[in-house]
Structure 1
Amino acid sequence: MTMNMISRSQIFVLDQDEALDFYVGKLGLEVTLDLDLGFMRWLTVNLPGDTREILLEKPGPPNLDPATAEQVRELLTKGAAGGFLFMTTDDAHKTYEELVAKGVEVTDGPTEQSYGIDFGIRDPFGNKIRIGQMST
């Protein structure tokens, strides 16, 4: 068996419209799919030019029963169960300043690392995002 790529990842969000505002409006991602499947809204975004998608999933059926979905929402709100995304940029300092100007919550500013420069932000739901300017 040969697998050759990851096509999509998933993070939980509490409000998909608010997630669109953040991921598309502030971070510049694009909507890949926005489908009403009846039992859930299938909402994916991706970085422009990238085929890998991020599913912005609201905790609930069909993947979670109501009690578990409530636990996930509570942990997500506390920042204890959020997902983690890693993105790259050509200019970490410029990207950082643009995101700060858009009101994005920064967890730590640009820092020189052995692999380049990176900084951390958080989405409105507690998911952590690292943005790096890689030196290799």
Structure 2
Amino acid sequence: MRIVVTSIFVDDQDRALDFYTRVLGFEPRQDVPAGGARWLTVGVPGEDGGVELLLEPAGHPAVAPFMEALAADGIPFTSFAVDSVQDEYQRLSDLGVAFTQPPTRMGPVTTAVFSDTVGNLIQIAESDG
């Protein structure tokens, strides 16, 4: 068994696709009409067959309260690994990304948290090991 697709709820698929590709650097994978929305995924460039991130519409009534509660408590929806949190923090800050937590050392891990502009807080993390 392996993970093929994981999802993140977004309040605007077009804006999410722009942010996750142009700003974060992921590449589009699938874009298939699905009713009033799309099966829209992104992945790590050059990692064919790797895990895809589904930019899932946040239309279900249970989603908005869930997303709002996470954001209000400062809890990231997901976490992405990076080689250098400080470098990514600087690169993303230069692109206008709003951080809610600057690079912070937590034992063997350094993390930072930013808004993805479509309803989520995202953590980036760098591990010593």
Same fold (TM over 0.5): yes
Q: Cα–Cα, structure 1 residues 76 and 84, in superposed 2: closer, same or farther, change >3 Å?
A: closer
Which residue is 1:24 aligned to? Answer: 21
CA root-mean-square deviation:
2.3
Separation in structure 2 between the aligned mates of residue 102 and residue 129 of structure 1, nearest angstrom: 16
Deviations 1:88-126 (A, max 9, x none): 111111110000011111011111221222111121123
Structure with max Cα Rg = 1
How many aligned positions are there? Answer: 125
User: Runs of 4 or more off by more than 4 Å in structure 1?
Assistant: 80-83
Identity %: 37
Q: Gaps spanning 5+ residues in structure 2: where? A: none
Task: Report the CA distance shift for 1:80/1:110 in structure 2 as closer, same or farther (over 3 A).
Answer: closer
Q: 1:2-81 alignment to 2 at 5 Å?
A: 3=1, 5-48=2-45, 49=47, 51-60=50-59, 64=60, 68=61, 72-73=63-64, 76=67, 79=71
Match of 2:111 in 1: 118
Give the gaps of 5 or more residues in structure 1: none
Q: TM-score, normalised by structure 1?
A: 0.79
> CA shift at 1:59, angstroms?
2.7
* Amino acid aligned to 1:52: V
Shift in Å at residue 77 of structure 1? 5.5
